[in-house]
C-alpha cells in the first residue's frame, strides 16, 4: 500500500513516457535534417547566382570597353574570382575601381570560399579548371540532391 505522502511514477509509467519521447524524437530528427539540407540548397543556389551575375556583369563591362585592354585568352571574362572582389580600374580613370562582388560567398556544403571553376575552353562537365578565365563556378561537394543529381551540376 502507498502512503499518502509518497508521490512519484511507477516503473511502467516511466517506460511508457520514455517510449513516447523516443518515438517523437525519431520522427523529428529526419525532418530537421531535411530542413537543414533544404536551407543549404537555397544558400547554394543564391551563392552561385550571385557569383554568376558578377561574372556576367564583368563580361558586359569588358565587352563594352570600360575595363580597358583584357589579357589574351580570357575572352573578356575575369582571370580569377578574386578579381571580382578586388576590383578593376575603369579605362580613362586614374583612381576609380569597380568591384563586382563585396566578397566571395561561402559554399554552404564545403563551408569554404574555394569554388570549382570552369573556363570557356573547358568541357562543360569537367571538374578541372584550365586556368584561362572564370566562365562558371560550381560547388566542390560530392553530395547528391534528393532527385539524384550532383550539387556540382547545378
Nine cell digits for residue 14? 516511466
| Residue of 130, 123, 124 lying closest to 80 (CA atoms) | 130
| CB crowding 74-107: b at 16 or more within 10 Å, else e | bbbbbeebebbbeebeeeeeeeeeeebbeebbeb
Higher pLDDT, 153 or 46: 46
Over residues 36-55, mean pLDDT: 95
Q: What is the pLDDT of residue 3?
A: 62
List pLDDT tens digits, range 61-76. 999 888 888 888 788 9
Q: Output the pTM of the full model.
A: 0.79
Residue 6's pLDDT is 65
Q: What is the pLDDT of residue 138?
A: 93
Mean pLDDT estimate for the chain: 88
Q: Where are the domains of the chain?
A: 11-142
Of 18, 29, 87, the closest CA to residue 58 belongs to 87
- Mean pLDDT to the nearest integer, 81-107: 89
Q: Is the pLDDT of residue 85 over 80?
A: yes
Strand pairing partners for 97? Answer: 89
Residues 78-84, mean pLDDT to the nearest whole number: 92
- Residue 38 reports pLDDT greater than 90: yes
Query: pLDDT exceeding 90 applies to what percent of the chain?
Result: 47
Q: What number of CA atoms fall less than 13 Å from residue 131's CA on the CB side?
A: 0
Place of cell 552561385: 48
Tens-place pLDDT, residues 105-153 = 999 999 999 999 998 888 888 888 888 899 999 999 988 988 889 988 8
> pLDDT at position 112, please?
92
Amino acid at each position: 500500500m502507498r502512503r499518502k505522502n509518497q508521490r512519484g511514477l511507477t516503473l511502467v509509467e516511466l517506460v511508457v513516457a520514455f517510449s513516447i519521447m523516443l518515438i517523437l524524437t525519431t520522427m523529428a530528427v529526419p525532418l530537421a535534417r531535411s530542413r537543414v539540407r533544404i536551407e543549404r540548397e537555397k544558400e547554394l543556389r543564391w551563392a552561385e547566382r550571385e557569383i554568376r551575375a558578377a561574372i556576367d556583369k564583368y563580361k558586359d563591362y569588358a565587352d563594352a570597353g570600360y575595363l580597358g585592354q583584357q589579357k589574351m585568352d580570357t575572352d573578356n571574362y575575369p582571370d580569377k574570382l578574386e578579381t571580382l572582389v578586388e576590383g578593376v580600374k575603369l579605362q580613362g580613370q586614374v583612381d576609380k575601381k569597380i568591384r563586382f562582388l563585396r566578397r566571395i560567398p561561402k559554399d554552404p556544403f564545403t563551408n569554404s570560399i574555394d569554388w570549382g571553376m570552369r573556363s570557356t575552353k573547358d568541357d562543360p562537365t569537367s571538374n578541372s579548371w584550365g586556368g584561362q578565365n572564370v566562365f562558371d563556378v560550381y560547388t566542390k561537394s560530392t553530395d547528391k540532391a534528393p532527385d539524384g543529381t550532383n550539387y556540382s551540376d547545378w
